[in-house]
Amino acid sequence: DFAERNGYRVVREYIDEAESGRVADRPQFRQMLDEAAQAESPFQEILVWKFSRFTRKREHAVAFKSMLRRRGIRVTSITEHADDSPTGKLMEAIIESVDEFYSENLAQEVKRGMREAASRGFWVSPYVPYGYRRVHVQDGPKKRPRLELNPPADAVARRIFAMALAGDSVLEIAKELNAEGIPSPRGKKWLRTTIHKMLVNESYTGTLVWGLTDKSGAPPVRVEQAFPAIVSREEFERVGQSLQSRAPERVHPRQAASRYLLSGLVRCELCRKALTAAEAKSGKYSYYVCQSILNGGSKSCETPRLNAGRFERLIIEQIRAHILTESNIRELVKLVDEEMDGVAREERKRLETIEAEQEEVRRKMDRLWHIVESSDMEVNDILPRLRVHQERQAQLDQAADQARLALTERRELLDSADMVAKFAEEMGEFLQTSEVTEAKSFIHSFVKRIAVHPGRAVIHYTIPTPQDSPLRGGDVADVELSEGVRSTVPFGRA
């Protein structure tokens, strides 16, 4: 009658015939608590005849009500008002205050403990680099995690660095591993971002780095030779330099002060010297000339001088034809979408794994409280185990926050992919109409270098082009140098 009068829908009844206050003698009560602890509880409120029928021990009543309240479940007495006595209010306030204080300080305590453990070479991060595995070693009365090599993944990681040292791009490395059917750390296909993250991860030198994102401003912990290295420090730095040289970068117009669009990009393949833009003695014409000729005369190199205006227009047309085409831009947007979708899927799976473990830790904590209620154990008996679970919960909360932040960043990148097409459409016109400094800045973003041979030039782009482009998916383009571009007249006479 009470439920019907007050608009409740009764979904389940739990009836224990015994009058005992011990949970061990009340199987229905235990079942109710177990179902309340589920991820999807079948009820939102518990109706009891009297509060004393819920549990007779006041401290247990407060503890269980606190647990239920955290899950959004309220306990209501049909015949009594809530415990509004000074003692009841005081106990509720104390429990809530202690919970709040502990939750606010636990993260700092855990962080201090993790920093101390990391400084001694223990691996405290929840994520292990590919090629390694976590092993627990005895440290006094406790066991703590360290890293060791994980065959055969360590050989794959070593191979990835070797390929990068040999000059392979991250895309080429990913393609080769996928072609051989070697699974990625997630058991799926290798992505460029996965390869890149590995190549810039200092852990592969055997160096433990922890606390890079510490908001308190404390310096990160760094421990050299904390575990076996997969690459040497020298090899790691060489790979980093190679990645940096390959990365597309926007050059600020002030860094491109020369009035010649291709200055700094053109090199002679015969003598490995730069081609420098200079004016002929008449002042009417400008040419790109090999430095060997400028320094040693026309017989110093066989590479012809190049008419500056015609050569620059030729390179611009090549960029427009091979990079800024409609089909290439569509493919570029597709590649960006696929790449970001793949990364976002990995982040979502990572977050799901963390949330599943969070739920398991919560269930373990709830079971500890049940044990106290159903046995002669005191709260102090479970505190050590409870603290372990609470510390793990704090670690998981931090990891979940990081995963959600990463997922948000991936969404922002996905949202920005639609801007690629519009950006590229405007660039073709931009190259023809902009000032020299701005156009040069743009060209430097797409072209790494231009190698000049006696009858041709080879453009090395900073980014690989789509598979169906005229370049057939490569990052190099051959350009024939017509007689209108080349000049056989010795420099200085024109």
Candidates 249, 244, 130, 148; CA nearest to 195 is 130
Q: What is the pTM of this model?
A: 0.39
Whether residue 487 is predicted with pLDDT greater than 50 in this model: the reply is: yes
Both tokens assigned to 379: 């709260």
Q: Can you give the pLDDT at residue 5?
A: 82
For residue range 80-127, what is the model confidence (pLDDT) as tens digits? Answer: 555 555 555 555 544 444 444 555 555 566 677 778 888 899 998 878
Query: Which CA distances in Å does 435 have to 194, 429, 476?
Result: 39, 12, 27
Task: Identify the CATH class of 132-246.
Answer: alpha beta
What is the pLDDT of the chain when averaged over all its residues?
Answer: 75
The DSSP code sequence of 214-272 is: -TT-PPPEEETTSS--SS-HHHHHHHHHHHHHHS--PPPGGG--SSSTTTTTEEETTT-
Task: Name 364's Cβ contacts closer than 8 Å, sequence gap at least 6.
Answer: 389
Q: What angle do CA 152, 155, 157 make, to 5 degrees?
A: 115
Q: How far apart are CA 363 and CA 366, in angstroms?
A: 5
Whether residue 206 is predicted with pLDDT greater than 90 in this model: the reply is: yes
Domain parsing of the chain, residue ranges: 2-84, 132-246, 253-324+435-487, 335-416
Q: Can you give the pLDDT at residue 268?
A: 92
Both tokens assigned to 12: 């389940």
Q: What angle do CA 142, 143, 144 make, to 5 degrees?
A: 115
Task: Name 334's Cβ contacts closer than 8 Å, sequence gap at least 6.
Answer: none
Both tokens assigned to 84: 């509004």
Q: For tokens 């990391």, name the residue.
A: 118
Per-residue pLDDT, averaged over 450-475, amounts to 67
Say whether 48 sits in a helix, a strand or coil: strand
| Minimum mean pLDDT range among 116-130, 328-342, 387-401, 444-458 | 328-342
Q: How far apart are CA 265 and CA 274, in angstroms?
A: 8
For CA atoms 285, 289, 291, 295, give the dihedral sign: negative
Q: How far apart are CA 219 and CA 224, in angstroms?
A: 15
Per-residue pLDDT, averaged over 268-277, amounts to 88
Query: Which CA distances in Å does 394 have to 101, 134, 427, 493?
Result: 14, 20, 49, 77
Candidates 194, 205, 189; CA nearest to 239 is 205
Query: Do the Cβ atoms of 466 and 489 come closer than 8 Å?
Result: no
Q: How far apart are CA 201 and CA 209, in angstroms?
A: 10
**Range from 48-57, 196-205, 384-393 that averages highest in pLDDT:** 196-205
Both tokens assigned to 206: 């055997």
Q: Can you give the pLDDT at residue 198?
A: 94
| E strand intervals along 78-204 | 132-139, 142-149
Both tokens assigned to 423: 């950006």
Stated as kind and residue range, the H or E segment containing 287 is strand 286-290
Q: How far apart are CA 457 and CA 473, in angstroms?
A: 19
Q: Can you give the pLDDT at residue 308?
A: 87
Candidates 423, 105, 418; CA nearest to 250 is 423
- Provide the CATH number for the domain formed by 2-84 in this structure: 3.40.50.1390
Query: Do the Cβ atoms of 448 and 455 come closer than 8 Å?
Result: no
For residue range 4-18, what is the model confidence (pLDDT) as tens digits? Answer: 888 888 888 888 765
**R_g of the chain computed on alpha carbons:** 34
Query: Do the Cβ atoms of 163 and 172 come closer than 8 Å?
Result: yes
- pLDDT tier for residue 331 given thresholds of 50, 70 and 90: low
